[in-house]
Structures are given as structure tokens and as C-alpha cells.
Structure 1
Amino acid sequence: MSEAAPPHADGKCRCRWCGIDPLYVRYHDTDWGVPERDPRALYEKLVLDGFQAGLAWITILRKREAFREAFDGFVPEKVAAYGEADVARLMENAGIVRSRAKIEGAIKSARAYLAMRERGEDFSDYLWGFVEGRPVQNRWRAIGDVPVSTPVSEALAKDLKRRGFTFCGPVIVYAFMQAVGMVNDHMVDCWRHDEVAEA
């Protein structure tokens, strides 16, 4: 039995998790699951997923623009150069999640990103290499069938940590993989499933 939500007012069936919050629905319809190849955007999403740890994604989504402003557009070169004054500035910013560990983790991850680039490694190619460069096309019918982590997310999480990235355990990494389209986890009767599969 499928667990996509009943049709919305626009007649479209969607994954049940997005509910009816207009911001969440828009994110589901335009962002979630669309293959992302831009290295900077992938760094941003990985950091934001790290900030989500212990929170609901809608909380981060509502603060996303404030995060982008506070973190200089998540340009890794800028974030990597942050010092204690920047950490203090961010800790005073009520528009974001004020966790010192997560803020310092974002800086550490930016430095890990740049270290990879200095070795000639493209962050996008690196990540997508874990799925052989192509999105994994799943065909889930029930939300309970969707895993919270997989052997691939476990391997990627382990390797990211080895490289110096933070807040990237297997569950966070699988949520990241779903969001950036490395896996297509829209329910099969969600209107976005086939569109994302063709993206």
C-alpha cells in the first residue's frame, strides 16, 4: 500500500513527509531529490544537514536564508578562513542554530573541502563516485520501507570523517544523499518521482 499523502488542492500526490506547510511543499517540489552537481552547493547542503542533527529539517529550512547570509553564502574559501571572532559572531546570530560545535564543524568541513581541492579532488566527483555517478532509482511504496542509512551512506560517512568533515554520520549522510538526488526516494506515486528520475 502506498503512503504518499492524499492529493493536495492542486491535485498532486506528494510524499507524506512534506505535509501542507507551503515552504516544505515548495522544497519537496523543487529541491529535494534533484541531482545536484555543484561542489559549493553540495558543501552547503552537507553543512546544513549537520546543523539539522537533533532537529527537524523544517527548522533548518526556515532558517536557510539566514544561514546563507551568516556564512557568506557557504563559499568554502570564506568559511575556511573564519576565526574565533567569526565563531563569536555566529553564536550571537539568533537567525541560525547557535551550536558552537556545529559552527566549528562547518569551518572544519570547509577546510577539509579545500584540502581535497588542493589534492586535485573535485568534491562533486568524489561524492557521486559513491553511486557510480548516477542517482540510485528506488521505488518505495511505503515510508517504512525507506532506510535511514545504507551500506553506501555508512561508507561515505566513514570516508568523510577520515577526511576531516564533521557532523556526517551514516543517517545524516543518507538524508543528504536523498536531498541532493544521489538516491531518488520519492514515493512511486508522488508526482515528483518520475520527474526526478528523468532529471
Structure 2
Amino acid sequence: MNTSSICSWAQGSPEMTQYHNTEWGRPSYDDSYLFELLNLEGAQAGLSWKIILSKREGYQRAFHQFNIDRCAALTEEDLEAIREAGEVVRHPQKIKAVQTNALAAQKVQQEFGSLASYVWQFTDHQPIIYQRQEVSEIPAKDDLSVKVSKDLKKRGFKFVGPVTVYSYLQAVGVIDDHLITCPYHTNNRHE
């Protein structure tokens, strides 16, 4: 496939292109994946997504493939060992946030049945499919991300500001922000 037709942000490296072409914007209902992307988006704050993708396997190893129960059970010693190992961004609060977010996710699972049910209830379990023609049309945040961010914070999640949440909603397919010219836009995929 001609990579020049895909969203411009994904053309910077093979890893970014692969992520864009196989994951980004595809609706997910898998709790571990939803939890992983929430934490990776939070870790990305202030950094580039390319850096986070380059450390993704390290994150998956360090945080037990983002198994929510295993992350919730991490001890302070475990978190310090993860920081010292250097496979993830060494920001102590971002590392601690994975454990904090796992505890919050467990409560969400108890209340809603799954993290997926919680995430998708904000859009009546339907993806929002935008018809954007230019990258400049894509906002950093919107009313939905502000609403979801407030609710996540109220439930104890960390590193979930409205900009991070907008990126998260794009990543897990709640929002399809592929440009309409991109072959991976919902209207263009033939799977």
C-alpha cells in the first residue's frame, strides 16, 4: 500500500505506520487492551507517541501484558523495580499511575461489568466517525473528552486529562479520526 495516502502523523516511522494501519481507530472491547492504551496515552503526556511505541514491549513485560488484576497487585517494590529496569518511561508518577489506574479499573469493572462497557457507554456503544479532510480539523480535545476525563478523574484514574483522553478515544476506536482520504477510515475499510 502507498503509505502517502495514510494519515500524515503515521508516516514518520515503520512502527508508527504499523500501529496506524493495524490498531489506531479500530473499535476495541478488550479490557486489557483498553487498559493498556489508557496507560500508554498517559505515559505519552509531554513526549512523542513514537517514544512510547518504541517502549511498548517493555511496558507489556513490566506490567504483565496490562492484566488489570496483576497491575492492581503491584507493590511499591515492584514499581521501583520497574522504574530501575528502564524499559518504560522512568517518570515515577506515571509508573505509579498504572497501579492506581488498575485499582480504579477494577471498581469500574465491578460497577459496569467491564472496562469496555464503561468506556463505550459515553457514546451509546457506537463509534463516532468523523469525516475530516485535513489534520488541522482534528481538535486536541472536545466536549466528549472533557466529560470522560472528568468522570475518570472522579473515579481515581491518573494522567487522564482531556487531551490525553481525546487521544485515547481515537486510539481505541471510540472516535474515528482517520482522514477521509485514508484507506483505514471506517468508510474505506473492506474487512
Q: TM-score band (shorter)?
A: over 0.9
> Which residue in 1 is equivalent to 2:2?
11
CA distance, structure 1, for counterparts of residue 42 and residue 64 of structure 2 = 17
CA distance, structure 2, for counterparts of residue 84 and residue 128 of structure 1 = 32
CA distance, structure 1, for counterparts of residue 85 and residue 149 of structure 2 = 29
CA distance, structure 2, for counterparts of residue 17 and residue 148 of structure 1 = 14
> Can you give the 5+ residue segments of structure 1 that lack an aligned partner in the other structure?
1-9
CA distance, structure 2, for counterparts of residue 124 and residue 41 of structure 1 = 10
Calculate the TM-score normalised by the size of structure 1.
Answer: 0.91
1:184–1:197: 8 Å Cα contact kept in structure 2? Answer: no
Name the count of aligned residue pairs. 190
Alignment of 1:1-199 (within 5 A): 10-12=1-3, 13-194=5-186
1:47-79 per-position Cα deviation (integer Å, ceiling 9, x unaligned): 111000100011000110110001111111111
1:134-173 per-position Cα deviation (integer Å, ceiling 9, x unaligned): 1101011111110111101100000001001110000000
RMSD of aligned alpha carbons: 1.5
Calculate the TM-score normalised by the size of structure 2.
Answer: 0.94
CA distance, structure 1, for counterparts of residue 107 and residue 189 of structure 2 = 33
2:108–2:118: 8 Å Cα contact kept in structure 1? Answer: no
Query: What is the deviation of 1:20?
Result: 4.2
CA distance, structure 1, for counterparts of residue 144 and residue 187 of structure 2 = 24
The AA in structure 2 aligned to 1:57 is: W
List structure 1 segments (4+ residues) > 3 angstroms apart after TM superposition: 194-199
1:8-37 per-position Cα deviation (integer Å, ceiling 9, x unaligned): xx3351101112411111111111001011
> Can you give the 5+ residue segments of structure 2 that lack an aligned partner in the other structure?
none
Larger radius of gyration: 1
